[in-house]
Amino acid sequence: MNHLCKSHGGLQIVTALINNDLFLDGIRAWCDKVGVSPYVEISQEHKDGVQYIRVYANDTLHKLCQHADTSCLAASLGLLSESSAPDMALEIVLSMAVSPLIFDFSSLNELEANIRMRINLSGLARRTELNFDTNGISRPEAYWIHVVDGGFILKEGASLVDGIERALCPDISGEHFSFSCQRATEYLMLHSLAIELSLSNPAKLKEIELQSRKKALVADDFLNAFLLEIGSSATPFPMRCYVPGDRVWFKNPDDFSSNVQGYEGSWVIYMGGGLFTNLWDKSKPYTLETKCLEIYHWRHGVREDKLGSLEINEDLVRELVEQTLDSHVKLQSCINMMMKYRDPQGVYENGGCIDLTRDTFKGVYPDHTN
């Protein structure tokens, strides 16, 4: 899509050119309702029968989020995003508004659906706690069955939403199931998508449930089917710019330790308030700095197991992270090394761990879903 006024970024609703002023008034009223009006500008343009309504950061919001750093946004505004859905919605919209990359929506309904999915995702992510195991993966047997070449498929008659929640959340299952971080984030995204589809597009949810009973979509197949990847090497996100509900990849820039299975990098969900999921200990979510430090110290935790295979000594990594946090000099040195955009896949030269892109949900309503 050829974006208009791209330099301002923010979020953009692109629709057919019908009742311009009435629709613009509706967007203004919506911004008032959500509470973003004091922090944004709203513009309208039209071209070739299409109207572009954009909501983007004003000077007040830019001062709160200098260099598009959204990590302190909730604290600066006193938002209780973890416990308040309206506060989380406000943090989501303001984070989009300050982004220099445009978030496109085909209607106000799609924008609201995206916000609901991000709120649900952030909430479930806070409850998720798993065992890290790239080989000994497990799922609740009442919902899932493992098949050769099909992965874990949903049992006939089982609810996809319930099956995912019980696989991720020990507060209802009483167990910690084994996952890789990539598959865990796929389950998290799919859960929020399924909940929204039950409201906005039940027929599409039935299709996805049918697919889930045949073969699991994973990795690139999952990304291509359900998500949008925003950003590129030419137009990367600022390194501290995240929207609650973003799925984010952190690369391990150390060639040797990245050969340990499961330590090529780390998939996480940004939950807002400057915090990323710790899928293995929900009581200790990561900040951007502690995530960078953990990945940095993986290189110092490599060892051979009893069979001669490489593994990471997680206890040593945690100890080294704490030592680095206690030394301002060491901390700055590590952060300077890691807080750089990552090298391309397969390249280990001078890059850090920060990705250029963010993953989010595709449209969900029947007229626009892709």
What are the pLDDT digits (tens) for 326-339? 999 999 999 999 99
CA distance 275 to 164: 22
SS3 353: coil
Q: Give the pLDDT confidence score for residue 19 in this predicted structure.
A: 66
| Arithmetic mean of pLDDT over the chain | 94
Q: What percent of the chain has pLDDT over 70?
A: 97
Q: Give the pLDDT confidence score for residue 166 in this predicted structure.
A: 98
Mean pLDDT on 200-219? 96
Residue 148 pLDDT greater than 90, yes or no = no
Residue 49 pLDDT greater than 90, yes or no = no
Q: Give the pLDDT confidence score for residue 179 in this predicted structure.
A: 94
Sheet holding 40-47, edge to edge: 40-47, 50-57, 11-16, 103-105
Residue 367 pLDDT greater than 90, yes or no = no
CA distance 269 to 274: 11
What does the chain come to in residues?
370
Q: pTM for this structure?
A: 0.95
Can you name the residues that pair with 229 across neighbouring β-strands? 359
Residue 20 pLDDT greater than 60, yes or no = yes
Residue 344 pLDDT greater than 60, yes or no = yes
* Domain boundaries of the chain, sorted by first residue: 6-98, 126-361
Q: Give the pLDDT confidence score for residue 326 in this predicted structure.
A: 97
Distance, C-alpha 179 to centroid of its chain: 17
Q: What percent of the chain has pLDDT over 90?
A: 86
How does 288-307 read in b/e, with b if 16+ C-beta sit within 10 Å? Answer: bbbbbbbbbbbbebbeeeee
CA distance 95 to 297: 30
> Residue 142: exposed, middle, or buried by beta-carbon count in 10 A (0-12, 13-18, 19+)?
exposed
Print the SS3 string covering 101-146: CCEEECCHHHHHHHHHHHHHHHHHHHHCCCEECCCCCCCCCCCEEE
Residues 105-138: tens digit of each pLDDT: 999 999 999 999 999 999 999 999 999 887 778 9
Q: How many CB atoms lie within 10 A of CB 175?
A: 13
Q: Give the pLDDT confidence score for residue 2 in this predicted structure.
A: 34
The pLDDT confidence band at residue 18, using thresholds 50, 70 and 90, is low
Enumerate residues 6+ apart whose C-beta is below 8 A from 194.
160, 161, 164, 205, 208, 209
Please name the residue that has the structure tokens 């007229």.
367
Can you name the residues that pair with 47 across neighbouring β-strands? 50
The pLDDT confidence band at residue 220, using thresholds 50, 70 and 90, is very high
Residue 3 pLDDT greater than 80, yes or no = no
Element (H, E) at 276: strand 275-276
Q: Which residue has the higher pLDDT, 292 or 15?
A: 292
144-148-150-155 Cα dihedral, nearest 10 degrees: -20
CA distance 216 to 223: 12
Q: Give the pLDDT confidence score for residue 17 in this predicted structure.
A: 67
CA distance 265 to 29: 43
DSSP letter assigned to residue 236: P
Residue 223 pLDDT greater than 60, yes or no = yes
CA distance 338 to 340: 6
